[in-house]
Chain A
Amino acid sequence: MEYDVIVVGSGAGGSAAAWRLTKLGLRVACFERGDWQTPDNYPSTGLDWEIKKRKAFSPNPSIRNMKSDYTIDTSESDIDIANFNGVGGATVLFSGHFPRFHPSDFCTYTLDGVGVDWPITYSDLEPYFNVNDKVMRVSGLAGDPAYPEMKGFLPPIPIGEYGEMIAEGFNRLGWHWWPSYSAISTGSRSDSPCLNLGPCNTGCPQGAKSSTDVTYLPDAMRSGLEVVTHSVVVKVEVTSAGKAKGIWVLESTGNRRFIASKVVVLACNAIGTARLLLASKSDDQPQGAANSSGLVGKNLMLHPLGYAEGLFDRAIDLDKGPQGCCIYSHEFYETDEERNFKRGYTLHVLRGGGVLETALAGLDRREVHWGSSLVKDVVAMHRRRGSIAVICEDLPETSNQVLLDESRIDNDGMPVVIVKYRLGGNSKAMMSHGLTQARRVLKVAALKKVMAFGPVREAGWHILGTARMGNDPATSVVNMRGETHDVDGLFIADGSVFPTSSGVNPASTIQAVALYIADQIYETHFGVLTDGNAIENFC
Chain B
Amino acid sequence: MQLKIFVDSLIPGDEALGAPKFSAVAWPLLQESRDLIAHVSVVIKEFRNSATGCVISESNESIESNEAMAKSFSSFFKEKHNVLYVEFREIVMGLYFSSPAVLVAMGEEEMPLFPRGQSLPTFNTDMLESVYSRGEIWRRVNGG
A334 touches B98 (CB 8 A): no
Judged by a CB distance under 8 angstroms, whether A103 is at the interface is yes
- Count of interface residues, chain B, beta-carbon cutoff 8 Å: 59
* Sampled A-B contacts (5; CB under 8 Å): A45-B114, A50-B94, A104-B139, A107-B143, A158-B120
A241 to chain B, nearest CB (A): 36
**Segment of A10-18, A19-27, A145-153, A299-307 engaged in the interface with chain B:** A145-153
**Do A160 and B144 touch across chains, with their CB atoms under 8 A apart?**
no
Chain B nearest Cβ from A454, distance in angstroms: 21
Whether B118 and A197, one on each chain, are in contact in the complex, defined by CB atoms closer than 8 angstroms, is yes
Whether B141 contacts A375 by the Cβ 8 Å rule is: no
Q: Are B144 and A171 touching (Cβ within 8 A)?
A: no
B142 surroundings in chain A (CB, below 8 A) = 107, 110
Interface residues of A in 290-309 (CB under 8 A from B): none
Q: Which of B39-47, B52-60, B64-72 contacts A (4 or more CB under 8 A)?
A: B64-72
**Known A178-B128, A359-B93, A375-B17; contact A148-B108, beta-carbon cutoff 8 A:** no
Q: Is the CB of B141 within 8 A of A198?
A: no
Q: Mark A100-116, 1 if CB is under 8 A from B, else 0.
A: 00111011001100000
B140 adjacent to A50 (CB under 8 Å): no
With A47-B103, A160-B120 known as contacts, the answer to whether A375 contacts B14 (CB < 8 A) is yes
Determine whether B83 belongs to the interface, using a CB cutoff of 8 Å to chain A: no
Asked if B61 is at the interface of the complex by the 8 Å CB criterion, the answer is no
Partner of B103, one of A106, A158, A355: A355
Contacting A at CB under 8 A, from B107-139, are 107-108, 110, 112-125, 127-128, 130-132, 134-139
Compute how far the CA of A96 lies from the CA of B24 in the bound complex, rounded to whole angstroms. Answer: 39
CA distance A176 to B122 in the complex (A): 21
Q: Is the CB of B132 within 8 A of A143?
A: yes
- Tell me which of A122-130, A428-436, A513-521 binds B: A122-130
Given contacts A49-B113, A54-B90, contact A372 B65 (CB under 8 A): yes
Known: A145-B132, A320-B120. A363 touches B89 (CB 8 A): yes
Q: How far is the CA of A195 from the CA of B95 in the complex (A)?
A: 26
Q: A164-B124, A370-B11, A370-B71 are in contact. List 7 more A-B contacts (CB 8 A).
A: A159-B120, A197-B118, A206-B114, A317-B120, A319-B118, A371-B67, A376-B17
Decide: A321 and B128 in contact? CB cutoff 8 A: no
Min C-beta distance of A510 to chain B, whole Å = 19
Does A56 reach chain B (CB closer than 8 Å)?
no
A346 to B78, CA, bound (A): 36
Distance (whole angstroms) from the CB of A204 to the closest CB of chain B: 9
| Chain A, residue nearest B125 (CB) | A141
Closest CB pairs A-B (n = 5): A123-B144, A195-B117, A158-B120, A48-B98, A375-B14
Interface presence of A342 (CB below 8 A): no
Chain A residues with CB under 8 Å of B121's CB are 158, 160
Q: In the complex where A159-B123, A171-B130 touch, is A146 in contact with B115 (Cβ < 8 A)?
A: no
From B10, B105, B123, B141, give the contact of A371 (CB < 8 A). B10
Report the minimal beta-carbon distance from A429 to chain B, rounded to whole angstroms: 20
B35: shortest Cβ distance to chain A, in Å? 15
Contacts of A370 in B (CB 8 A): 10-11, 70-71, 74
By the criterion CB–CB under 8 Å, are B127 and A171 in contact?
yes
In the docked arrangement, what's the CA distance between A105 and B52, Å? Answer: 60
- Complex alpha-carbon distance, A171 and B95, angstroms: 42
Residues of B within 8 A of A121 (CB): 141, 143-144
> Complex Cα distance A145/B100, Å?
46
CB of B99, distance to nearest CB on chain A (Å)? 8
Please tell me if the beta carbons of B113 and A198 are within 8 angstroms of each other in the complex: yes
Q: Which one of A148, A156, A359 lies within 8 Å of B138 (CB-CB)?
A: A148
Is A66 part of the binding interface, using a Cβ–Cβ cutoff of 8 Å?
no
Over the window 394-417 of chain A, the binary record of Cβ atoms lying under 8 Å from chain B Cβ atoms (1 yes, 0 no) is 000000000000000000000000
**Is A529 at the interface (CB under 8 A from chain B)?**
no
Given the complex, which residues of A lie within 8 Å of B120, measured CB to CB?
A: 158-160, 196, 317, 320-321
Given A54-B94, A379-B106, answer yes or no on A102-B112 (Cβ-Cβ < 8 Å): no
From the candidates A123, A360, A371, name the one contacting B12 in the complex (CB within 8 A): A371
Complex partner residue of A330 from B65, B105, B137, CB under 8 angstroms: B137
Measured between alpha carbons, how far is A126 from B100 in the docked complex, in Å? 49
Q: Which residues of B contact A143 (CB under 8 A)?
A: 132
Distance in angstroms from B44 CB to nearest chain A CB is 14
Q: Which residues of A contact B100 (CB under 8 A)?
A: 47
B117 contacts which chain A residues (CB < 8 A)?
A: 195-197, 206
Give chain B residues whose Cβ lies under 8 Å from the Cβ of A106: 141
Tell me the minimal C-beta distance from A427 to chain B in angstroms: 20
A320 x B70 contact (CB < 8 A): no
B10 CB contacts on chain A under 8 angstroms: 370-371, 374
Q: Which residue from chain B places its CB closest to the CB of A371 in the assembled complex?
A: B70
Complex-state Cα separation, A167 to B130, whole angstroms:
11
Query: A46: CB under 8 A from chain B?
Result: yes
Please determine whether B132 and A111 come into contact, CB atoms closer than 8 angstroms: no
**Residue interface mask A418-433, B partner, CB < 8 A = 1:** 0000000000000000
> Is there contact, CB below 8 Å, between A102 and B94?
no
Bound-state Cα–Cα, A27 to B121, Å: 46
Q: Verify B127–A164 contact, CB threshold 8 A.
A: yes
CA distance A156 to B70 in the complex (A): 48
- The answer, yes or no, to whether A44 is at the interface (CB within 8 Å) is yes
Given A45-B114, A379-B106: A103 touches B89 (CB 8 Å cut-off): no
Minimum Cβ distance to chain B for residue A190 (Å):
13
Tell me how far the C-beta of A377 lies from the nearest C-beta in chain B, rounded to whole angstroms.
Answer: 10
Q: How would residues 350 to 388 of chain A score, 1 for a CB under 8 Å from any chain B CB and 0 otherwise?
A: 000001100110010000011110111011001000000
The minimal Cβ–Cβ distance linking B4 to chain A, given in whole angstroms, is 15
Q: Which of A185-225 contact B (CB under 8 A)?
A: 195-199, 205-206
- The minimal Cβ–Cβ distance linking A92 to chain B, given in whole angstroms, is 15
Please tell me if A34 contacts chain B, counting CB pairs below 8 Å: no
Contact between chains at B131 and A178 (CB < 8 Å): yes
B128 to chain A, nearest CB (A): 7
A98 within 8 A of B: no
Distance in angstroms between the alpha carbons of A108 and B134 in the assembled complex: 25
Minimum C-beta distance from B101 to chain A (A) = 11
